[in-house]
A and B are shown apart, each in its own frame.
Chain A
Amino acid sequence: MKQNTLGYKIKQYLMFAGPGTVLFLAVVIVPFLYGLYLTLTSWDGVSAQKPFVGFANFAAAFADSDYWAAMGRTVIYSVFAVILINVVAFALAYLVTLGIKGQNFFRAGFFVPNLIGGIVLGYVWKFVFNRAFVAIFGGTSLLSTTNGAMFCLIFASVWQYAGYMMLIYVAGFMSVSAEVKEAALIDGCTPSQAMWNVTIPLMRSSFVQCIFLSITRCFVVYDVNLSLTKGEPFGSSVMAAMHVYNQAFTYKNYGLGQAEALILFIVCAIVGVTQVMVGKKGEVEA
């Protein structure tokens, strides 16, 4: 059988990549294109008519001050959360690769928060902040103040994601061979110099991955936001994704919500891709 005929190639393609292509188109590309079309309508979400309005929704999205306030908060939240998640995750990974007793148990333990869904985790921490902390330390709940609510969101997110990112850093630590580190020490490096100048540069790809994952997740945070603060107090902890949801479904401006979601996607994609490109550039191999 000839292997370079068109029919053969089509068969090959369909056999191996066909199901994946179909699924990808059906659940990602088609809805995405349909969503793009909806940004050009003033659909309310329930009506049978979808009046075409051109780019009016984008104009409205750029004029929606609540949306940009939510976006600003999301950026602040993401900056703090991404830095803290990665610092904590790296520290944990370092500790559980030192070879201490029971380190597999600790690895599993730190990973567990990630197995609890965001909604449940939000309710658990709401109880802790509202009741437990108030009972132990007195005073008022952190969740009742604007800055306190933001702190709580960052705290819960760090708690949730640090264990997950830790696993990637653990893999990074393990991939740096002991010989390289040993050679550095023999050449006169102090242990901290070896860490900064040998281990960390060799783990650069772990950093790129972890930062990418944490940025993209923080930008579209919704579940923890919903169950922990629900946007309160006074709507001061509404993140971009929650605003988009409210706009589309609660306020019944589906087209506008879709347009705002698209802007959020583009911002998130630009930040994420830039970070990966910058990160990859300096990657080194041993």
Chain B
Amino acid sequence: MKKRILAIVLALVMVLALAACGSSGSGSSGSGNAGSGVNLTIFNSKMEIQSQMEEMAKAYSAAKGVNVEVYYSSDTVAAHMSTKYASKDPYVLSMVDAKDIYSLGPEHAIDLSSEQWVGNTTQAISVGGKVLGFPVCVEARGILYNGDAIKAATGKDFDPSTIKTTADFQALIDEIVAGGMALPVGLQKEDWSLGAHFLQEVYELHEDPDAFIAGIKDGSVKLIDDPVFNALMDTFDVLKAYNYAKDAPISAERERTEMMLAEGDLCFKFGGNWDWSNMVGTNYTEHLGMMPVPCDLAGYNERLVGGGSKYFFIDNTVSAEQQQAAKDFLNWLVFDAEGQEFLVNTCALVPAFSNITLPVSDPLGSSVKAFADKGALTPNYNYAPDDHYAKNGASFQKYLAGQIDRAGFADEITAYWATAEVGAH
């Protein structure tokens, strides 16, 4: 027995010794690299620009004398950040989603209020009076259309500004159906597309989304009687009725739907300008674009929903030189001609800064830019709880598959909000 205890004690001592080696080792590796210039580690969470980021890192490192390293993770952003913070090895500059700025920022981000670019954007995120998030790009949601496919079916040039109400949209679809395309709509089944993008418009198209959600929670708002909810669901019913995959909507594959739209096998798809990353490799036709979700809500049916998407924040525990290098990099993106070129042309993003005037290269992005330039973007609601899209997305999938009706769907959303709390903001 004595022997056994002794063995365990000895083993524990060795484990502790090992742990001590580990921590001192990682401490020295940080300072060891500092001799060859400042290390600027960047976490990129936009998969489609990873190769561009890596090439930029090489060129930027050579030109500016800093070591830029770009990392990507296919994990969800929050999950990946939690492992980095748990191992006390944060990135200097992290690209995260808007909601993560609210959850991570106050504890981990430095204040960027005094930066020059703050005056050139309306999309920066401030928490408690401090600017913490740098907007990487603008993304917006709406109906993607293929003007060539519509023209082929109706024989007329398509002008998206003529389609405002659900009835307009239904009439156009009737015309397309008469012209030979029986099912001209694509709908994604992904929970984020349904739960985080379509359903959230119900909150976002209210004057005060917080008050609306509070109303659902305390029972003063009956979702099934809500005009916005019904207006959007009326349009959704039209989309659903002409969904090319309506026999098995839950097995529709995103990439295939995007390709069909790009190549003119579909006329419409609910989505956003990020869909372009999967369409650019297809044999796409010329007249693609985005328009607002048609609905019977005057004003809102002339605006896309969106705003800043993906935000950089700078970690507050890294050295002052590293923080400065990160700030320099952000300024380079906004004010340097090469940085602007990288953002707009190399990465094909819609910039969130008014001083960047380069034309946006992709058709969906240029639609978004046009709406953004005339101030016709309804802002994102970034404060839904983390499980909102998954749980309500599942309910929405049931609705899409015809397993529950609109009242049942409204009940499930109401039941969700009975226990859920919106994030701090």
Contacts and interface: CB of A to CB of B under 8 A. Distances in A.
Interface of A: 6, 9-10, 13-14, 17-18, 21-22, 25-26, 30, 44-48, 130, 134, 140-141, 143-145, 232-236, 246, 249-252, 254
A141 B394 contact: no
Contact of B401 (A10, A134, A233): A233
Given A18-B11, A143-B250, A235-B390, A46 B85 contact: yes
Contact of B398 (A13, A234, A254): A234
B178 interface: no
Q: Which 9 A-B pairs have the closest CB atoms?
A: A45-B82, A249-B79, A140-B248, A141-B251, A235-B394, A144-B250, A144-B251, A233-B250, A251-B387
Given A30-B15, A44-B103, A250 B386 contact: yes
B395 interface: yes
A145 B250 CA distance: 8
B3 interface: yes
B10 interface: yes
B321 interface: no
Nearest to A141: B251
B394 A46 contact: no
24 contacts: A6-B6, A10-B6, A10-B7, A18-B14, A25-B11, A25-B12, A26-B15, A26-B19, A44-B82, A44-B103, A45-B78, A45-B79, A45-B85, A46-B81, A46-B104, A46-B108, A47-B107, A141-B248, A143-B250, A234-B397, A234-B403, A246-B387, A246-B390, A250-B79
A256 to B, nearest CB: 11
Given A22-B14, A22-B15, A251-B386, A46 B78 contact: yes
A30 B12 CA distance: 10
Contact of A249 (B76, B250, B385): B76
A19 B95 CA distance: 40
Contact of B11 (A22, A46, A235, A246): A22
A235 B15 CA distance: 42
A89 B104 CA distance: 49
A9 B6 CA distance: 11
Nearest to A49: B107
A130 B15 contact: no
Interface of B: 3, 6-7, 10-12, 14-15, 18-19, 75-76, 78-79, 81-82, 85-86, 103-104, 107-108, 189, 191, 247-251, 253, 385-387, 390-391, 394-395, 397-398, 401, 403
A10 B11 CA distance: 11
Nearest to A22: B14
Contacts, number: 106
Contacts of A25: 11-12, 15
Given A9-B3, A234-B401, A250-B76, 11 more contacts: A17-B7, A44-B82, A46-B82, A46-B108, A140-B248, A232-B250, A236-B394, A246-B387, A249-B79, A250-B387, A251-B386
Nearest to B108: A46
A48 to B, nearest CB: 6
A22 B250 contact: no
Contact of A250 (B78, B85, B248, B251): B78
Q: Which of B76, B108, B251, B391 has the most CB of A within 10 A?
A: B251
B248 A252 contact: no
Contacts of A22: 11, 14-15, 18
A47 B106 CA distance: 10
B15 A232 contact: no
Contacts of B249: 144
Q: Which of B108, B189, B250 has the most CB of A within 10 A?
A: B250
A236 to B, nearest CB: 8
B16 to A, nearest CB: 10
Contacts of A134: 248, 251
Nearest to A249: B79
Contacts of A45: 78-79, 82, 85-86
Contacts of A47: 107
Contacts of A140: 247-248, 251
Nearest to A146: B403
Nearest to B248: A140
Contacts of B82: 44-46, 249, 252, 254
B395 A21 contact: no
Contact of B391 (A9, A144, A235): A235
A245 to B, nearest CB: 8
Contacts of B387: 246, 250-251
Nearest to A9: B3
B7 A13 contact: yes
A46 B103 contact: yes
B11 A21 contact: yes
A169 B107 CA distance: 56
Contacts of B86: 45-46
A22 B386 CA distance: 38
B251 A130 contact: yes
Nearest to B401: A233
A234 B394 contact: yes
Contacts of A9: 3
A1 B107 CA distance: 61
B397 A21 contact: no
Contacts of A143: 250-251
Contacts of B403: 234
A246 B251 CA distance: 22
A249 B78 contact: yes
B176 to A, nearest CB: 24
Contacts of B14: 18, 21-22
Contacts of B108: 46
A143 B253 CA distance: 12
A130 B253 contact: yes
A252 B78 contact: yes
A56 to B, nearest CB: 15
A52 B107 CA distance: 19
A48 B249 CA distance: 43
